[in-house]
């Protein structure tokens, strides 16, 4: 491929310079500052902040709740993708459109919406507010689209002749699903699950109203960071931020490595 005319290279260089400046101001410098501040007092101080009882409880809660959410998402996300692709019922297109709602709805509104139904004085007589279950509920709401949207295209492309062969050989529909469909969907399910894990780890807006933020009970990592910032305890906020950041990046990074390998195999 030949390079286009000379002036374009100059323009391209200028463009990249502008991009670099913009990204530095908005993203890179601020993140560098968090990393720098978290280790201001050395690694010992960082470790002390992370293992402070309240911080540790918050991190542990975040991780456990996110894992629960990811497991539920993997199951129900696959089911929903399945009925959107393979099933046919009136209103299917509408349901398909509604899946993205959690991405479009501001997170704080998600919290309010869930409280209106499942909060105190709600019509169903359940009150989840200030419980750990409420955190699971909020996270399920905001991460719903990830697995559905990553499984859906794969399911759509899946060659059905294998399933039909299995069925004609006498396999029941559950066996066909478990032995044929599920192995083919697994990469997509995992990739959707990883994205929802990263999102769940960092989620703040939808959780903050519904969980009550009780230390050691319903205070998740991001809320802990927020409270430390409010109390001017920057080292603690920065240290726990780094842990949350690392957790999300490791999962997303692993996912990238996995998908690249899969891609390489595909070729």
Map the footprint of another protein across residues 107-166, applying CB under 8 A.
Answer: 107-109, 112-114, 116-118, 122-123, 137, 140-141, 144, 159-161, 164
Token duo for residue 135: 């955190």
Nearer to another protein among residue 19 and residue 214 (C-beta): 19
Q: Does 22 bind another protein (CB under 8 A)?
A: yes
Look at residues 65, 75, 244 and name the one whose alpha carbon lies nearest to residue 139: 65
User: Among 45, 52, 133, 245, which residue interacts with another protein (rule: CB under 8 A)?
Assistant: 245
CB atoms within 10 A of CB 200: 28
Q: Does 46 bind another protein (CB under 8 A)?
A: no
Q: Does 260 bind another protein (CB under 8 A)?
A: no
Stretch that binds another protein, among 42-50, 102-110, 184-192, 211-219 (CB under 8 A): 102-110
> What's the chain's Rg over C-alpha atoms?
23
The residue behind tokens 């996270």 is 139
The residue behind tokens 């949207």 is 149
Least CB distance to another protein at residue 94 (A): 10
Least CB distance to another protein at residue 81 (A): 9
Q: Round to whole Å and give the CA distance between 102 and 99.
A: 7
User: Among 90, 125, 174, 263, which residue interacts with another protein (rule: CB under 8 A)?
Assistant: 174
Q: Does 214 bind another protein (CB under 8 A)?
A: no
With b for 16 or more beta-carbon neighbours within 10 A and e for fewer, the 82-96 pattern comes to: bebbeeeeeeeeeeb
Q: Does 173 bind another protein (CB under 8 A)?
A: yes
Look at residues 114, 112, 74, 65 and name the one whose alpha carbon lies nearest to residue 244: 65
Token duo for residue 126: 């359940």
Q: What angle in degrees, to the nearest 10, is found between the helix axes of 182-202 and 53-85? A: 140
User: Among 63, 198, 218, 219, which residue interacts with another protein (rule: CB under 8 A)?
Assistant: 198
Q: Does 61 bind another protein (CB under 8 A)?
A: no
User: Among 16, 60, 179, 217, which residue interacts with another protein (rule: CB under 8 A)?
Assistant: 16
Least CB distance to another protein at residue 15 (A): 5
CB atoms within 10 A of CB 34: 15
Stretch that binds another protein, among 52-60, 63-71, 178-186, 198-206 (CB under 8 A): 198-206
Nearer to another protein among residue 48 and residue 108 (C-beta): 108
Tell me whether residue 48 is exposed, middle or buried, using C-beta atoms within 10 angstroms of its C-beta: 0 to 12, 13 to 18, 19 or more: middle
- Tell me how long the chain is: 267
Phi, psi of 121 (to 5 degrees): 75, 10
Nearer to another protein among residue 15 and residue 41 (C-beta): 15
User: Among 39, 56, 226, 258, which residue interacts with another protein (rule: CB under 8 A)?
Assistant: 226
By CB under 8 A, how many residues form the interface with another protein? Answer: 91
Stretch that binds another protein, among 42-50, 149-157, 203-211, 257-265 (CB under 8 A): 203-211
């Amino acid at each position: 491929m030949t390079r286009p005319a000379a002036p374009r290279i100059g323009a391209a260089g200028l463009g990249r310079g502008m991009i670099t400046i913009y990204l530095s101001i908005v993203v890179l410098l601020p993140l560098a500052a968090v990393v720098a501040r978290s280790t201001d007092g050395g690694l010992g101080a960082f470790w002390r902040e992370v293992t402070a009882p309240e911080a540790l409880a918050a991190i542990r809660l975040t991780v456990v709740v996110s894992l629960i959410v990811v497991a539920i998402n993997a199951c129900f996300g696959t089911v929903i993708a399945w009925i959107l692709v393979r099933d046919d019922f009136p209103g299917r297109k509408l349901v398909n459109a509604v899946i993205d709602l959690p991405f479009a709805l501001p997170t704080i509104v998600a919290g309010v919406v869930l409280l209106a139904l499942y909060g105190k004085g709600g019509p169903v007589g359940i009150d989840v507010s200030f419980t750990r279950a409420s955190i699971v509920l909020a996270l399920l709401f905001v991460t719903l689209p990830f697995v559905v949207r990553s499984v859906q295209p794969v399911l759509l492309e899946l060659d059905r002749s294998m399933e039909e062969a299995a069925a004609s050989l006498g396999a029941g529909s559950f066996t066909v699903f478990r032995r044929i469909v599920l192995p083919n969907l697994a990469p997509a399910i995992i990739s959707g699950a990883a994205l929802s894990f990263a999102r769940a780890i960092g989620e703040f807006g939808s959780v903050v109203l519904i969980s009550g933020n009780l230390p050691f009970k319903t205070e998740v990592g991001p809320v802990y960071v927020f409270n430390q910032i409010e109390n001017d305890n920057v080292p603690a906020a920065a240290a726990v931020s780094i842990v949350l950041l690392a957790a999300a990046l490791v999962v997303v990074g692993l996912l990238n490595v996995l998908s690249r390998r899969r891609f390489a195999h595909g070729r």
